[in-house]
Structure 1
């Protein structure tokens, strides 16, 4: 069996996948037409250009523009259920065994849907997906940096009703430059008190000190991206000492120009230095990627071996917000499938 076939058959895990960035283009187009939402074209191949970035994506601004239509079609619970179900179906075809899906409920409440309807739509699809597709999935609720700290507190207060029912954590995402993590400190302290796990997008766009702030003040257990820790030796040592897992998303980081190219990404340096790096998709549709593609990129551009890939997958199990029993079960499944390969 060649390396590519092995990669395709690898059991996989994804800890950093945004629901609204991972919607089938065909579904976006179909819902938009049904809901009379303006679309630039009805030709699916041309339409994909408005939902996916090209290889020569020039900036974060261009990257974020691909979410416009997705937000518009995710304003009804039936559509959120469908989109979640389709994502799990697609992942099952890639032998993904475990995924933590994240989404920001308040972004889907613009046309009357309630917080509860949005969250329960995802959870229902996830629960049914476990039976249909054999994928264990968990939900992370996102607090948006640009929203007021009070909204973040609301997410924690409302979200605690779903702890133990599929929701495992909260996240902070959005514009790092203008909205530092400490603005949302109260929500994250409350989240810890209630029993939420915590992850924070930090050090993604060139502000490495946000990593320390996220861990010390927001009590983050994992860091989303964390690319720029290497810019400051003190911060890199902090990540090592505290054993903070990093949710790394290679294609996305290159496309948003967080790094210049695949060869410039610090993931191999981090792995070699013993940091618990994990490989994730970020936005499957927008980045036009899969976990297998991410693995291949790392092997071709950074010299990753199959053993390196396996180590990042093991890191993912250990860093996941699954229960200890679920981690043991996943470890057994992964060891068995690795052995077969």
Structure 2
């Protein structure tokens, strides 16, 4: 069995509010006088049973983060956890809509998160970047508002733009303008697709949003032509196996298509999505796919290399990360 921490890891798909450890959520809830007994049980686990109740628990837990210092504590905590599992790089999805609900400006939200990321980097050398996301079921105008905030308030650690929310709500064509604005501003782009919606949602994201990375994307397996296209065009899938199992997209990891997709030449990365909600971590994700599918140390190193090469960071940072990766292979 592979010792997961010996493999340098990189993560491209994690929602920062969804990465909050229950202990931190509980502490801030008490500090701010918020009752979370309906979403956090006595054993320190989030309470949810299906996708709808997961979203409610997620929003309730996110509501405890009220100030820039709260968000700094969240990002520092998460990046330290990543580094402790051997990660050398992490990208987090940030949600300006959640910040707005907490009464924070976009700038204050980002500055808080950046402060925590920098503290973690100082102590652990982990690199991190942020991807601002629009929520598709809030509509095209809301998604465009997010990208305007990002472009109007540039920050060196905010290097990407993405689309999340209910895949079944709103056709990607509705968000083409927002993605065009993001690309013209030099931001990397990604979009959730092929999780709860089928392969047609992936095709639409590729056609209308012109992305080179897809969040999840696993249901591409249902369309052989699409699998071939993903491989030929070098589209990178941000695969979150534990999340897919927890949310019922697949019943068991051995039935998950990540191994078949990889064998077919599709570029695969491994990610944790909303780790404490799904009882996982990035390290556990690496270990579970290795155990289930017999992936070797070199296979996992290749997964990390794919993530670094697809990362939304500058070439100099990317090169440094690749040197760190190569040094672990010797």
TM-score interval, smaller chain? over 0.9
Q: CA RMSD in A?
A: 1.9
| Distance change in 2, residues 1:170/1:259 (3 Å) | same
| Distance change in 2, residues 1:112/1:66 (3 Å) | closer
Q: Secondary structure at the match of 2:163?
A: strand
Give the superposition deviation at 1:114: 1.1
Distance (whole Å) between structure 2 residues aligned to residue 128 and residue 34 of structure 1: 23
Equivalent in the alignment of 1:49:
45
Contact 1:22/1:283 (8 A) holds in 2: yes
TM-score (ref. length: structure 2): 0.94
Q: How do residues 255-294 of structure 1 correspond to structure 2 at under 5 angstroms?
A: 255-294=246-285
Equivalent in the alignment of 1:337:
328
Deviations 1:209-257 (Å, cap 9, x if unpaired)?
1112212211212000001001112222221221100000110011111
Deviations 1:166-193 (Å, cap 9, x if unpaired)?
1111110011112232221111111111
Give the superposition deviation at 1:68: 3.4
Which residue among 7, 11, 14 is the counterpart of 1:17?
A: 14
| Distance change in 2, residues 1:39/1:231 (3 Å) | same
Distance (whole Å) between structure 2 residues aligned to residue 128 and residue 161 of structure 1: 25
Matched, 1:207 2:203: no
Give the superposition deviation at 1:69: 2.8
Contact 1:192/1:219 (8 A) holds in 2: no
Contact 1:60/1:255 (8 A) holds in 2: no
Give the superposition deviation at 1:161: 4.2
Contact 2:36/2:61 (8 A) holds in 1: no
Give unmatched runs, 5+ long, in structure 1.
none
Give unmatched runs, 5+ long, in structure 2.
none
Distance (whole Å) between structure 2 residues aligned to residue 62 and residue 274 of structure 1: 36
Matched residues, number: 330
Give the superposition deviation at 1:120: 1.6
Matched, 1:123 2:119: no
Q: How do residues 1-341 of structure 1 correspond to structure 2 at under 5 angstroms?
A: 3-5=1-3, 7-40=4-37, 46-50=42-46, 59-163=50-154, 165-339=156-330
Distance (whole Å) between structure 1 residues aligned to residue 38 and residue 198 of structure 2: 38
